[in-house]
Amino acid sequence: MNILIKNAFIVTMDEEREVIEKGYLFIEGETIKSVGAGEYKGEIENTKVINGENYCVMPGLINAHTHAAMTLLRGYGEGLPLMQWLNEKIWPMEAKFKEEHIKTGTELACIEMLRSGTTTFNDMYFMQEQVLEVVKHMNMRAVLGIPIIGEAWESQLKASLDIIEKLDKEKSENLKMMFAPHSPYTLSYDALKSVAQIAKEKNKGVHIHVSETEDESNIIREKYNKTTCELLEETGILKNPVVAAHCVHLTKGDMNILKKSEVSPVYNPQSNMKLASGTASVGEMLDMGINVCIGTDGTSSNNNLNMFEEMETAAFLQKLKYSDATMLSAKNALKMATYNGAKALGFKNLGVIKEGFKGDIIMLDLNRPNMVPIYDIHSNLVFSTNGSEVQYVIVNGNVIMEKGEFLNVDEEKIIYESNKMCKKLIY
């Protein structure tokens, strides 16, 4: 069925059109067919009509770096810096995870993301076969990051070929996969080189943590006498399309490498603040024309998957870092969480409301005290929302949430199962 949204306040994220204060959006099948001001004059046979009065219509948000099933570790291992947090708390708990944990944790993540307007996410976690099933059931758009970490990298790399084959057979436009070597400090030189080679052969991207903490920079400097980016360049990783989470501790030379190699760094401001990792130089990277996008990271270092909150923190923290209130405007933060995210993940025609683009749309209730008045809609969206304003979610032309209710997802059951499972994990 086609979808017509009428009388809506549309934030297109299309530079040529920007904002339509009262207009329509027509989605035919999976694709936006027409968008404009005033009334829709075309056919409306076989069409679901949504009255968009008092709603803001915008592209679905793109979470460019997360570990979805870590929802089950939300609030666990608080108050520690990265290395201690991973070694002493997170990795021992993750060692207990079985398929059912990944399934339920990812389901919980999906409902949390959808409720707060995220329609696409870039995942890096164990047992992506489970993630694949959940994402298909939830009807979301995602990039599955097949993890490679530690000593067992060779067998992991071999196993990853099976899931690539499975996914390639499905030919789903909603789903992609990337190789996800965890980081240069948890993998050997040979492992990084092999991942680089296989990703090239299989024509897939690479999703990796890069230069997150000062500790990491010191480890890599001591081991290789190089910066992390120099190492990634030398191993061939950067010859692939790369999504690099964090990128907090970079030299000017590193930024030049990222620019030259067309890497998309992911800014994860809340995780970086919580683990006291540092503040990425996003202002400089954007000025250089680097495609910086935004991610939440996992919920154990955030502690939620709310991209509206993340955009706000992203902008506030850049203003503070540079002591300059003009840094990272609301509109640019929105662009990073939509257009830039789509570009980073290799989804064509996504992240903008424009004819021919994918029908991934969210609708926010403007009839809320915190959304009034509207002098600058981009500012309202980034600085005033809390995510609960999202009432409609459409992915690839499918309505997933309507008037705040999921249509085909048993939200109550997922929440119940998650709580039950976590009690057993801890005791």
Ligand X SMILES: CSC[C@H]1O[C@@H](n2cnc3c(O)ncnc32)[C@H](O)[C@@H]1O
Footprint of Zn ion (CB under 5 A): 297
* Residue 146, contacted partner among Zn ion, ligand X, none, CB below 5-8 A by kind: none
Q: Number of residues interacting with ligand X: please give it, by CB under 6 A.
A: 17
Query: To the nearest whole angstrom, how small is the minimum distance from the Cβ of residue 340 to Zn ion?
Result: 18
Omega within 30 of 0 (cis) for the link into 303: yes
Residue 263 C-beta: closest distance to ligand X, Å:
17
Determine which residue in the list 6, 101, 103, 209 makes contact with ligand X, applying CB under 6 A: 209
| Residue of minimal Cβ distance to Zn ion | 297
Give the x-and-dash track for 93-122 against ligand X (CB under 6 A): -x----------------------------
Q: Kindly tell me which of 73 and 311 has the beta carbon lying closer to ligand X.
A: 73
User: Looking at the chain, how many residues does it have?
Assistant: 427
Identity of the residue, 235 or 301, whose beta carbon is nearer to ligand X in the bound complex: 301
Q: Does the protein bind ligand X through residue 249 (CB under 6 A)?
A: no
The tally of CA atoms less than 13 A away on the side-chain side of residue 1 is 10
Among 52, 105, 117, 147, binds ligand X (CB under 6 A): 147
Q: How far is the CB of 89 from ligand X (least distance, A)?
A: 9
The Cα–Cα gap between 21 and 13 comes to: 13
**Does position 125 bind ligand X by CB under 6 A?**
yes
* Dist. CA 122–CA 185, nearest whole Å: 21
Among the candidate windows 123-131, 165-173, 320-328, 398-406, which touches ligand X by CB under 6 A? 123-131
Please report, as residue ranges, which positions from 353 to 412 form the binding site for ligand X (by CB under 6 A).
none
Residue 343 near ligand X by CB under 6 A: no
Q: Which does 28 bind (CB under 5 to 8 A by kind): Zn ion, ligand X, none?
A: none
Please tell me whether residue 267 binds ligand X under the rule CB under 6 A: no
Q: Is 131 or 336 the residue whose CB approaches ligand X more closely?
A: 131
Least Å distance between CB 73 and ligand X?
8
**Residue with CB nearest ligand X?**
147
Q: Please provide residue 236's backbone torsions phi and psi, each rounded to the nearest 5 degrees.
A: 90, -5
Taking Cα atoms as reference points, which of 406, 375, 381 lies closest to residue 391?
A: 406
23 binds ligand X (CB under 6 A): no
Rounded to a whole number of angstroms, the minimum distance from the CB of residue 84 to ligand X is 12
Smallest gap, in angstroms, from Cβ of residue 301 to Zn ion? 7
Cα(first)–Cα(last) distance of the chain, in Å? 48
Choice between 210 and 363, CB closer to ligand X: 210
233 binds ligand X (CB under 6 A): no
Binding site for ligand X (CB under 6 A): 67, 82, 86, 90, 94, 124-126, 147, 149, 182, 209, 212, 271, 297-298, 301
